[in-house]
Amino acid sequence: MSETSSLKTIRLGLAGLGTVGSAVARHLRDESRLLAGRSGFRFEIVRIAVRDKARHLAAGVDPALLTTSWRELVETEGIDLVVELMGGEEEARSCLLAALEKGVSVVTANKALLAAHGAELFAAAERTAASIFFEAAVAGGIPVIKAVKESLVGNHISAIHGIINGTGNYILTRMTEAGLGFSEALEEARAKGYAEADPTLDVNGWDAAHKAIILASLAYGYWVAPADLRVEGIDRVARQDIGYAARLGYVIKHVGVIKAGNGGGEVEVRVQPSLLPREHTLASVGGVTNALAIRGDLIGESLFVGPGAGGDATASSVISDIVDAAHSLDKGPRNAGFVPHGLYGRTKPAALTVSEFYLRIPVRDQPGVIARIAGILAAKEIGISATVSLAPSEMPDGKFNEVILMTHEAPLGLMEEAVEEVAREAFVTGPPVLLRVEKP
């Protein structure tokens, strides 16, 4: 008799056998003795739902395990846990709802699904006393979900600032370190396998926004409506913005911000390229690495850094959830998954959020340009805190063609009104670039 034969077996249904699903299956097989020794359970995959059975048969997967129907997987007799790694929204939603309605707990790495349908899924779990585990849905292999749910349970979270998309961080890092333009950096990311063939969600900010919604749900006890988010991508950041920011003492990063106002009330949830002070730890996080700075009233600021994507890194978080789910199944739920606590529940309108700003305005060299821009800002009680002086080599024919300035704190709505007014001036030759300044 083997040393693990007397252990309780957890029977798994695996929906999806792509990069992450294959890594999970491989590690469950190859590290079975390690997991048994550490967890006290044996894990057995008894059904796998895939889209292309022939491809996986050719790869040597046991044909008895394979099905092309997630319904057949959910209905398999004796399934203890459904692990959803197939991606997408509607099919994954239907799969998880079917499992939860049967009282079967689930593990998912599907951030887009949770951001769009989290309230519905967790309501279904509550009705049947099932649980949802989702560590891998945010920041890949970094155990940030567990940290917020468990390690920081006694803290009021005042703010989370995160670099939570590896592709975007790689692009901005290469623009900063190698002087590449946006398109060049994106093509390099594709060539290295860091960007998808269609990188839209990475570039336009919505991959990070999905993660921000999940983090906000944990920190503040409500599901943010996607329509309430302010989401900006990195595709409008130009090489010269990187350089000007450096002169001013900043680094441009794509940052997710989740923070509560003083004394509670409304919560800011937004994602945008931002200028970070060069000395802040997040500013030094490069490449595809993810990082989150979480501030609690008891602990102060904690920093979590690690791989935000990749098959093995994400599998690490999925397997952690599988083990947690096994203990929950064995001993009963231990507030596993999302626990609504209703501390806040309102998202602050983006127009009312306040920060300092960086503004670059393409202009025609003529008298009174800077005075006119300063006057428009002053009329809205927005002060200028710094400017960038162009070197002769940066001025075609000896004439300045850009105004670059930093402002004091102002509401976003007023700042955008001022920028729109500036853009209508005859001396402006192109769209202004407005970026937030974050000081975590």
pLDDT digits (tens, 9 = 90+) for 15-51: 999 999 999 999 999 999 999 999 999 999 999 999 9
Quick one: pLDDT at residue 262? 65
Residue 414 and residue 354: Cα distance in Å, rounded? 10
Q: What are residue 81's DSSP bridge partners?
A: 12, 105
Quick one: pLDDT at residue 305? 96
Quick one: pLDDT at residue 28? 96
Average pLDDT, the chain: 92
pLDDT digits (tens, 9 = 90+) for 178-209: 999 999 999 999 999 888 889 999 999 999 99
pLDDT digits (tens, 9 = 90+) for 271-322: 999 999 999 999 999 999 999 999 999 999 999 999 887 889 999 999 999 9
pLDDT digits (tens, 9 = 90+) for 370-418: 999 999 999 999 999 999 988 777 777 777 899 999 999 999 999 999 9
Checking if the pLDDT of 337 tops 80, the result is no
Quick one: pLDDT at residue 399? 78
CATH 3.40.50.720 fits 8-133, yes or no: yes
Among 245-249, 328-332, 425-429, the range scoring the smallest mean pLDDT is: 328-332
| 352-437: CATH class | alpha beta
From residue 167, give the alpha-carbon distance in Å to each of 27, 197, 200, 271.
Answer: 25, 12, 11, 15
- In the predicted model, what is the mean pLDDT of residues 78-100? 96
Tell me what percent of the residues of the chain surpass a pLDDT of 70.
95
CB atoms within 10 A of CB 351: 13
Quick one: pLDDT at residue 389? 84
pLDDT digits (tens, 9 = 90+) for 137-185: 999 889 999 999 889 988 989 999 999 999 999 999 999 999 999 999 9
Quick one: pLDDT at residue 333? 66
The residue among 13 and 194 whose pLDDT is bigger is 13
Question: Which is the CATH superfamily of the domain at 144-307?
Answer: Dihydrodipicolinate Reductase; domain 2 (3.30.360.10)
Q: What are residue 267's DSSP bridge partners?
A: 260, 347
Of the candidates 200, 219, 221, the residue with the CA atom closest to the CA atom of residue 342? 221
Contact present, 135 and 320 (Cβ < 8 Å): yes
Contact present, 274 and 437 (Cβ < 8 Å): yes
**Residues counted in the chain:** 440
The domain ranges of the chain are: 8-133, 144-307, 352-437
Quick one: pLDDT at residue 342? 59
Contact present, 228 and 196 (Cβ < 8 Å): no
Checking if the pLDDT of 2 tops 70, the result is no
Q: What is the pTM of this model?
A: 0.92
Is 211 a catalytic site residue?
Answer: yes
Quick one: pLDDT at residue 32? 94
Quick one: pLDDT at residue 314? 92
Quick one: pLDDT at residue 95? 98
Quick one: pLDDT at residue 383? 97
The confidence band for 1, taking pLDDT boundaries of 50, 70 and 90, is very low
Please identify which of the residues 111, 211, 253, 348 carries the catalytic annotation: 211
Amino acid at 97: L
